[in-house]
């Protein structure tokens, strides 16, 4: 491995805050997400704290009456729909094999009300033995939600998901390795083409999910972009709607048609963020 030096870039003015909100001081913070001028922080008690630019905090309990050991394991803000997506799983030894729960929370209502009810994403587990949900993604309108499992399944749910109405489910792919990341991109003329990028620990994949077809078997629309994948959290979608993947030797760029340029940067990568 090549030698490298860490460098500090001063892109922003630094301001020292005298007193942070209590939401940032708790020892059991698990996850954070942001969007729409807000920061969302989830703690080990199942409470989510919403912090605005003035550091005013509004909190709500997202995990109520669940079995001991249930935690929020993933949290993503969907900007266009002003919706917060959460995943709950039982991480205790007793809860091994339990079914994950995916919920959608209307952010504007959370900021005004105290008794907001989420919308559950209805789906069937792709296998008889439940596997951890390792990746999740939604289109900007939440007309499609993709679920990736440690068992290698990629499941697509489509329909009036935000309204809690009936949905259609399809298994897009069954990989030999765990699914590590999922990302939707709308491209083409007028954004009519929807591509789902997926990574496993050994592959980088793309699926065209634009059609309304609900039948068909797994693997009938997958494009293998490269026989290498990446770790959880080591990919994102860039400003040009390309998939960006971080591996130890370089940063790679992909479109639905294949791999593009790369930037050599030989160093361990554990997280990629914009």
What is the bridge-based pairing of β-strands 119-120 and 101-106?
Answer: antiparallel
Lowest mean pLDDT among 17-31, 151-165, 258-272: 17-31
Lowest mean pLDDT among 93-107, 222-236, 238-252: 93-107
Interacting residues of 95 by C-beta distance below 8 A, sequence separation 6+:
67, 69, 70, 89
What pLDDT score does 216 carry? 47
Confidence of residue 215 (pLDDT cuts 50, 70, 90): very low
Res 258 pLDDT > 80:
yes
Residue with tokens 């008794």: 115
Res 14 pLDDT > 90:
no
Residue with tokens 């799983």: 89
Res 6 pLDDT > 70:
no
pLDDT digits (tens, 9 = 90+) for 171-190: 999 999 999 999 999 875 55
8 Å CB contact between 55 and 39? no
8 Å CB contact between 165 and 150? no
pLDDT digits (tens, 9 = 90+) for 53-101: 888 999 999 987 656 788 999 999 999 999 999 999 987 766 566 789 9
What pLDDT score does 2 carry? 56
pLDDT digits (tens, 9 = 90+) for 98-143: 789 999 999 999 999 888 999 999 999 988 888 899 999 999 999 9
State the greatest distance between any 2 C-alpha atoms of the chain, in Å, as a whole number: 58
Q: Tell me, what DSSP letter sits at residue 35? A: E
């Amino acid at each position: 491995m090549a030698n490298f030096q860490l460098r500090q870039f001063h892109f922003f003015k630094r301001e020292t805050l005298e007193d942070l909100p209590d939401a940032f001081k708790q020892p059991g913070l698990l996850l954070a997400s942001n969007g729409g001028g807000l920061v969302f922080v989830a703690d080990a008690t199942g409470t989510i704290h919403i912090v605005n630019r003035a550091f005013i905090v509004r909190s709500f309990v997202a995990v109520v009456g669940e079995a001991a050991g249930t935690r929020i394991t993933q949290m993503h803000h969907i900007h266009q729909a002003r919706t917060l997506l959460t995943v709950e799983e039982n991480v205790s030894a007793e809860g091994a094999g339990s079914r994950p729960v995916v919920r959608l929370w209307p952010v504007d209502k959370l900021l005004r009300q105290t008794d907001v009810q989420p919308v559950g994403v209805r789906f069937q587990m792709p296998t008889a033995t439940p596997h951890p949900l390792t990746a999740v993604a939604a289109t900007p309108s939440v007309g499609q939600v993709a679920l990736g499992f440690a068992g290698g399944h990629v499941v697509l749910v489509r329909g009036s998901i935000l309204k809690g109405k009936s949905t259609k489910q399809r298994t897009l792919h069954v990989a030999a390795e765990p699914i590590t990341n999922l990302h939707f991109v709308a491209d083409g003329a007028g954004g009519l083409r929807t591509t789902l990028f997926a990574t496993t620990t050994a592959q980088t994949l793309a699926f065209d999910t634009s059609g309304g077809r609900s039948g068909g078997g797994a693997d009938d629309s997958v494009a293998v972009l490269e026989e290498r994948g990446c770790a959880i959290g080591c990919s994102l979608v860039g400003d040009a709607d390309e998939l960006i993947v971080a591996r130890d030797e370089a940063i790679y760029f992909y479109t639905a048609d294949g791999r593009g340029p790369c930037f050599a940067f030989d160093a361990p990568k554990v997280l990629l963020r914009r």
